[in-house]
Structure 1
Amino acid sequence: MTKILKSNSAETNETFSARKGKVYLVGCGLGDAEQLTLKAYRIIREAQIVLYDHLITDEILALIPSQTRKIYVGKPKNCHSISQERINALIADYASQGFSVARLKSGDPYIFGRGAEEALYLGEQGYQVEIIAGISSSVAGPACAGIPPTARGYASSFSVVSAHLKDAKFNTDWLPLLKVPNHTTVVLMGLSLAGAIRKAALQSGVPKDFPVAIVANASRPEQQSVITTVSGLAKAAKNVQGPAVIVFGDVVKLYGKLPQYQLQQVSFY
């Protein structure tokens, strides 16, 4: 276990290690610091230990005071340098020493962020945990590109799904949603599987011209939108660098008619 040799607190080591620190699982949204909640901003500024993912932007990391201990626990695709079990143990170890710990997560901790796993583990170990919700890319990603997940006459409901299952298996359970009338389907973690999604969707009877949008790096300077169809999805995805969300549905037709977050790169396929 990692041990802290010197505390930032004025308390003695004996007193400090005799109590448990509180843990905050902090949703940091898309990356724009101005989209942090006030509570997320305060915890980032006040926590004594900060563990952060690889999608946390430099803009948000710059908010962390210089005296705060910062620990990178990112798990980029195909390069998991640290296991989830190790992350859980690190959080618990610092909290056991009495430190307040902020675990920064991109988006929202409970939307495919494994926040539930961390909260369950820490709760079972007797630590006090607070969840600070963040803006999920499933909603804000399309909105940044001027694509509303719901809009009268286009979609009266929407779903959020992951293209990945445990052990990197391809999830196809959501494909029937593409046939639901007046419905939007937002796919997370699907960019690298665009070819497989295209093939499976066409095989299941989804029309070739069904509208699709890929929104990458939403709210960041390199934000990019690609407007395409199911047929062109695989080709379109080759020109995109993630992280990205994929939006299926007639709401994609509203692209260019509604406000966008900022100037961005746009392609049509």
Structure 2
Amino acid sequence: MHGKLYLIGCGPGDADLLTLKALKTIHKLDIALIDHLLTQEIIDLILPHTKVVFVGKEKGKHSFPQETINAMITEYARQGYTVGRLKCGDPYIFGRGTEEAIYASSNGIETEVIPGISSALSGPLSVGIAPTARGVSTGVSVVSAHLSGDRVNLSWIPMLGVSDHTTVVLMGLSRIRQIVKEALDQGIDPHLPVAIVSNATTAIQSSIVTTLSELVATAKGAPKPAILVFGEVVNLSQILPKYRYEPKEVSYDIAHAG
């Protein structure tokens, strides 16, 4: 009898932002496959009887190929285990969740996907930026600056020229020079506001507000992981409240209910 795979969105970092369903599911796992960006306070919620397997894929360091992760998921599930793939943010927002769901399902593994809060939305909020705001921005785009094979993605640059639009860029910090050069070459306003938001919703959250022309210099030393936010909404960070991280002093036994 096969086990089951759960693709669990674990949110941007603060364990308080886990959904109840994610929390309950984490507590019933036999096997937990975790990424390198998963925060320790979320890892600490995994119960002692659960086997934890690190399958992080960190740029520039030894990592597990996706094929290996897929094979591990299938092997554990076919042994009858309840397997959880704990993923930062949401499983289907610029992660490998889609590939893993397709692979598992095509191999006869029952699969359930649990949504999570993406840093693309929680990151701006955490530093007082509203991606859409009446009179400032009528829409928001979420893009990645990184493609497979360590290729850069700059196809979204023209969106920076839309006056009432917000662009949130994931995995873009290491591509700053290419982003700025392409944007300026395409005639994007050098004074366009930009925010760098690092470690959103965690105890070490930080942010930098700058402009497109100053982005290369300002980004030096910015902590990772980080997102970039382009648009006039960045100026709202001077007005709107910031996310307040609270040290954890309570248990999460509610995960055992229901």
The TM-score with structure 1 as length reference comes to: 0.90
Q: Cα–Cα, structure 1 residues 80 and 155, in superposed 2: closer, same or farther, change >3 Å?
A: farther
- Which residue does 1:60 correspond to in 2? 42
Q: 1:124 aligns with which of 103, 106, 125?
A: 106
Q: 1:88 aligns with which of 70, 73, 77?
A: 70
CA displacement, residues 139-198 of structure 1 (integer Å, 9 cap, x when unaligned): 000000100110011101000000011211111110011111210000000001111111
For the pair 1:113 / 2:92, whether they are aligned, the reply is no
For the pair 1:216 / 2:205, whether they are aligned, the reply is no
Unaligned runs of 5+ in 1: 1-18, 264-269
Provide the secondary structure at the position in 2 that maps to 1:232: helix
Query: Match of 1:129, as an amino acid?
Result: T
- Do the aligned partners of 2:161 and 2:189 also contact (CA within 8 Å) in 1? no
Query: Match of 2:117, as an amino acid?
Result: I
Query: Match of 2:221, as an amino acid?
Result: N
Unaligned runs of 5+ in 2: 246-258
Give 1 or 2 for the bigger CA radius of gyration: 1
CA displacement, residues 42-80 of structure 1 (integer Å, 9 cap, x when unaligned): 011111110000011110011111111000000111224
Q: Which one has more relative contact order, counting CA pairs under 8 Å at least 6 apart?
A: 2
Instruction: List structure 1 runs of 4+ shifted beyond 3 angstroms.
Output: none
RMSD: 0.9
Query: Match of 1:146, as an amino acid?
Result: G
- Sequence identity of aligned pairs in percent? 53
CA displacement, residues 68-108 of structure 1 (integer Å, 9 cap, x when unaligned): 10000001112242100000000110000000000000000
- Which residue does 1:33 correspond to in 2? 15
- Which residue does 2:215 correspond to in 1? 233
For the pair 1:261 / 2:258, whether they are aligned, the reply is no
Give the whole-Å Cα distance in 1 for the aligned partners of 2:209 and 2:163. 20
Query: Match of 1:195, as an amino acid?
Result: R
Give the whole-Å Cα distance in 2 for the aligned partners of 1:262 and 1:242. 20
Q: May I ask how many residue pairs the two structures share in their alignment?
A: 245
